[in-house]
Amino acid sequence: METPRDETHIIHLAWLDPATHADLPLPTYHSELAAGMDVAAAVLEPVVIGPGEIRLLPSGFAVALASGYELQVRPRSGLAIKHGITVVNSPGTIDADYRGEVKIGLINLGSEPFTIHRGDRIAQLVLAPVCRATVVAVDRLDETLRQDGGFGHTGLGQVKG
């Protein structure tokens, strides 16, 4: 089955201190059809994240995105499944008008301390289009079968067990 190619978009990336970060790779796709680009930790010394601890880690770079796009910061599945390391505000959003350093907020949901070393792949960046809405206040909303049924109520008519 042939996969259609989407057009490529350019992300402008500036290293905040090129001399200090020359050893780090640009965010990189690691397979032909990967949605996310791996981002490396720009820590100068190893960082230990204890169980339940949140740490904000540097990437060493800032980006400029085209209007109408965002970069989503997402966990790496291997770190999440094997070690309980995930992005605390997943997915994080980098807006098109933000020009500060891209930082990755990680949390350790595992039971053991986890050490991040310089250059470790700590998150994924996914470029995504942004759809903006106009919010309109109304007196009533249309009725649905679900109405205000919350978590676990999308399986209408199914026996829960």
The per-residue pLDDT string of the chain (161 residues; one tens digit each, 9 = 90 and over) reads 555 556 788 999 999 999 999 999 999 999 999 999 999 999 999 999 999 999 999 999 999 999 999 999 999 999 999 999 999 999 999 999 999 999 999 999 999 999 999 999 999 999 999 999 999 999 999 998 888 877 766 655 554 54
pLDDT score of 156: 54
Residue among 54, 26, 38 at smallest CA distance from 114: 54
pLDDT score of 157: 54
- What contacts 55, CB < 8 A, 6 or more positions away? 47, 49, 105, 106, 116
Q: From the CB of residue 39, how many other CB atoms can be counted at a distance below 10 Å?
A: 26
Q: Which domains does the chain have, with CATH numbers?
A: 27-129 (2.70.40.10)
Q: How far is CA 123 from the centre of its chain?
A: 6
Q: What is the CA radius of gyration of the chain?
A: 20
**The pTM of the whole model exceeds 0.85:** no
**What is the phi/psi pair of residue 19, to 5°?**
-65, -40
